[in-house]
C-alpha cells in the first residue's frame, strides 16, 4: 500500500467476520444507529482531547466527467455557512471558541472532516459537526470565492513535473474512467461549479447510511454511542447511492505503451503502472503486495542491489496502493540518459525474476511482516491521527479487514507473493511514463 498525497495511512484489507476480540485489542467499539450511521469509538483517555470525525463514501470514484473535482470543492464548502451558522466568518469564530484543530481531506474513495477539541467542548463540537454535515447552504458568493482556492491547489500541482508524469500515465491506465481516479479534479468543472451541483452531491452521498462518525480520545464507548444518537439520530436516512448511481468497474489496460513528458529536470524518471487487486475482491493479494513492497524497499534486497548498487539507477521503488476500485501498482525509478536503455532492460529482467524461488530470503520475509505490524501499532499512539486511519479503512475495505491485518500478514508465503506477481504484474499490460528534459529526450531517443 502506498502513502498517498491526501492521506497518510498504511494498512490493508481483511475478510469480513474478524472476531470481536480484535476490535477490543484496538480499543475500538462500534454500533450502527437506526438511520444507518456507523458510530466508532476509539477509547484512549491519555489526554483530555476528543477527535470528532465524519467519513463519507464519496470522492473521485463517484465522479462522472461533469462532476470531476466537485467532491474536493464540496470538502472546501463544508467549512462555510450552514443552517445554524450564517457565514464562513462566524463558522471560523465558532471553531476558535471550541478550541478546535480542524481539517478535511478528499481522496479517490473517501472524504473526511474532523475537529479535535478539549474534552469539555465535546458536546458542542458534536452539535457543530451535525449542523455542518446536514445543513450546508452553498452560498453563491462563498462558492465563487472558494473556486480559485481549489484551482490554486491545481496550479501548484501542475507546477510539479512528477504530477504531470503521473497524470499522463493515469489517463492511459484508467483510460475509460479517468475522472474516477482524479481526486484533484478538472479545472473547468471546478470553475463552473454551481450551487445546484453541490446540492446534488449532498443529496446523493451525504446520508447517514453512507457515513461513519468516529470519536477518538477521552471518551468511553457508552457515552459516545449515547451522544451520537442524541446529536445525529435525527439525520434522515436516504437511498443507497451506489444502487442508484453504481460505480463502473475499470476495464483492463488495452495494451502496454509508453508516454513521454518533457520538462526541465536533471534526471530521467521512469514510471510503470499496472492495475492491481481490488481490496474487496482479492484481499489476499493485498497482503502479499504489502510484504513484497516492504522487502523491495530495503537496501539489503536483491532488487535494490541489482538496480541501484549496480549503478544503473539512482533510486527505485515498487508499491501497491490499497483501493477498493482497483488499486494501482507503481514502479518509480530514476536514472541518467546515458543509462536509460540498460536500466529499462534491467528493470524488465528484474520483474521477471521476482516470482522465482529464492528471490528473497526467509529472514527478509519475516522481517517485513514484523516491521509492518509494528508500524501499524505506532499509528495507534495518537488518537487524533488514529481516527483518520480508522475512517480510511472503514471507507476502503471495512474495519474487519483492518482488525485482522496482522493475522493475515503473518500468513503470507512466498507462494502468495508469486501469485500476486503472476496475477497482476508479470506479463500484464503496463503503462510506462518517462519524464525527461528536451536534451535527455533526444539522447534516449523518445
Q: Are residues 106 and 47 in the same domain?
A: yes
Residue 24 — pLDDT band, cuts 50, 70, 90?
A: low
Q: Are residues 127 and 271 in the same domain?
A: no
Grid cell in block for residue 11: 494498512
219: pLDDT strictly greater than 60: yes
Residue 12 — pLDDT band, cuts 50, 70, 90?
A: very low
pLDDT tens for 116-148 read: 999 999 999 999 999 999 999 999 999 999 999
Strand partners, 214: 40, 53
Mean per-residue pLDDT, 309-329: 97
Q: Are residues 175 and 266 in the same domain?
A: no
Note whether residue 186 is domain-resident: yes
Residue 380 — pLDDT band, cuts 50, 70, 90?
A: confident
Helix, strand, coil abundance in the chain, percent, nearest 5: 50, 15, 35
**Can you give the pLDDT at residue 378?**
83
Residue 25 — pLDDT band, cuts 50, 70, 90?
A: low
Q: Which of 215, 244, 273 is the last residue of a domain?
A: 244
Note whether residue 249 is domain-resident: no
The neighbour count for residue 171, using CB atoms within 10 Å, is 14
7: pLDDT strictly greater than 60: no
Q: Which residue range is the domain that position 396 belongs to?
A: 257-444
Strand partners, 434: 260, 270
Q: Are residues 165 and 303 in the same domain?
A: no
Q: Are residues 204 and 267 in the same domain?
A: no
pLDDT tens for 67-102 read: 999 999 999 999 999 999 999 999 999 999 999 999
Note whether residue 386 is domain-resident: yes
**Can you give the pLDDT at residue 381?**
85
**Can you give the pLDDT at residue 2?**
35
Q: The whole model's pTM is what? A: 0.91
**Can you give the pLDDT at residue 27?**
85
Note whether residue 218 is domain-resident: yes
16: pLDDT strictly greater than 50: no
Mean per-residue pLDDT, 263-275: 97
Beta-strand pair 328-335/315-320: antiparallel
Phi, then psi, of 278 in degrees rounded to 5: -85, 135
Residue 359 — pLDDT band, cuts 50, 70, 90?
A: very high
pLDDT tens for 336-354 read: 999 999 999 999 999 999 9
8: pLDDT strictly greater than 80: no
Cα 444 to Cα 437: distance, rounded to the nearest angstrom: 10
**Can you give the pLDDT at residue 376?**
83
Note whether residue 141 is domain-resident: yes
Q: Are residues 132 and 196 in the same domain?
A: yes
Task: State which H helix or E strand residue 39 sits in.
Answer: strand 38-43
35: pLDDT strictly greater than 80: yes
- Nearest CA-CA partner of 336 in 443, 202, 425: 443
14: pLDDT strictly greater than 60: no
**Can you give the pLDDT at residue 100?**
96
11: pLDDT strictly greater than 90: no
**39: domain CATH number?**
3.30.830.10
Q: Mean pLDDT score of the chain, rounded to an integer?
A: 93
pLDDT tens for 96-105 read: 999 999 999 9
Mean per-residue pLDDT, 390-414: 94
3: pLDDT strictly greater than 60: no
- In terms of Cβ atoms closer than 10 Å to its own Cβ (0-12, 13-18, 19+), residue 443 is middle
Mean per-residue pLDDT, 421-446: 97
Note whether residue 6 is domain-resident: no
Amino acid at each position: 500500500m502506498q502513502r498517498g498525497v491526501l492521506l497518510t495511512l498504511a494498512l490493508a484489507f481483511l475478510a469480513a467476520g474478524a472476531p470481536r476480540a480484535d476490535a477490543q485489542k484496538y480499543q475500538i467499539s462500534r454500533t450502527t444507529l437506526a438511520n444507518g450511521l456507523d458510530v466508532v469509538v476509539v477509547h484512549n483517555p491519555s489526554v483530555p482531547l476528543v477527535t470528532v470525525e465524519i467519513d463519507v463514501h464519496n470522492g473521485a470514484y463517484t465522479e462522472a466527467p461533469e462532476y470531476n473535482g466537485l467532491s474536493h470543492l464540496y470538502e472546501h464548502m463544508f467549512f462555510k455557512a450552514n443552517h445554524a451558522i450564517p457565514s464562513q466568518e462566524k463558522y471560523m469564530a465558532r471553531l476558535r471558541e471550541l478550541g478546535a484543530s480542524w481539517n478535511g481531506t478528499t481522496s479517490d474513495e473517501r472524504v473526511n472532516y474532523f475537529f479535535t477539541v478539549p474534552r469539555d467542548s465535546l458536546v458542542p463540537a458534536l452539535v457543530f459537526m451535525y449542523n455542518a454535515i446536514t445543513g450546508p447552504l452553498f452560498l453563491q458568493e462563498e462558492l465563487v470565492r472558494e473556486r480559485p482556492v481549489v484551482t490554486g491547489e491545481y496550479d501548484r500541482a501542475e507546477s510539479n513535473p512528477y504530477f504531470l508524469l503521473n497524470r499522463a500515465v493515469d489517463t492511459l491506465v484508467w483510460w475509460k474512467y479517468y475522472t474516477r481516479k482524479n481526486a484533484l479534479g478538472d479545472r473547468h468543472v471546478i470553475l463552473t461549479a454551481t450551487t445546484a451541483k453541490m446540492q446534488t452531491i449532498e443529496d446523493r452521498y451525504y446520508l447517514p447510511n453512507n457515513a461513519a462518525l468516529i470519536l477518538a480520545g477521552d471518551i468511553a464507548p457508552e457515552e459516545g454511542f449515547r451522544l451520537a444518537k442524541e446529536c445525529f439520530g435525527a439525520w434522515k436516512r436516504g437511498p443507497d447511492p451506489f444502487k442508484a448511481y453504481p460505480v463502473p468497474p475499470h476495464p483492463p489496460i488495452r495494451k502496454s505503451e509508453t508516454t513521454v513528458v518533457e520538462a526541465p529536470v536533471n534526471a530521467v524518471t521512469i514510471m510503470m503502472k499496472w492495475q492491481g487487486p481490488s481490496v474487496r475482491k482479492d484481499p489476499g493479494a493485498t497482503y502479499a503486495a504489502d510484504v513484497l513492497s516492504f522487502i523491495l524497499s530495503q537496501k539489503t534486497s536483491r532488487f535494490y542491489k541489482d538496480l541501484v548498487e549496480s549503478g544503473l539507477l539512482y533510486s527505485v521503488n515498487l508499491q501497491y496502493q490499497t483501493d477498493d476500485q482497483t488499486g494501482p501498482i507503481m514502479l518509480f525509478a530514476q536514472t541518467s540518459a546515458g543509462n536509460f536503455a540498460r536500466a529499462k532492460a534491467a528493470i524488465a529482467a528484474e520483474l521477471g525474476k521476482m516470482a522465482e524461488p529464492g528471490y528473497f530470503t526467509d529472514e527478509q520475509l519475516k522481517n517485513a511482516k514484523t516491521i509492518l505490524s509494528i508500524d501499524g501499532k505506532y499509528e495507534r499512539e495518537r488518537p487524533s491521527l488514529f481516527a483518520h486511519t480508522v475512517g480510511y479503512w472503514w471507507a476502503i475495505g471495512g474495519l474487519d479487514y483492518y482488525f485482522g491485518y496482522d493475522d493475515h500478514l503473518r500468513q503470507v508465503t512466498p507462494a502468495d507473493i508469486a501469485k500476486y506477481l503472476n496475477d497482476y504484474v508479470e506479463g500484464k499490460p503496463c503503462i510506462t511514463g518517462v519524464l525527461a528534459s528536451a536534451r535527455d529526450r533526444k539522447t534516449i531517443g523518445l
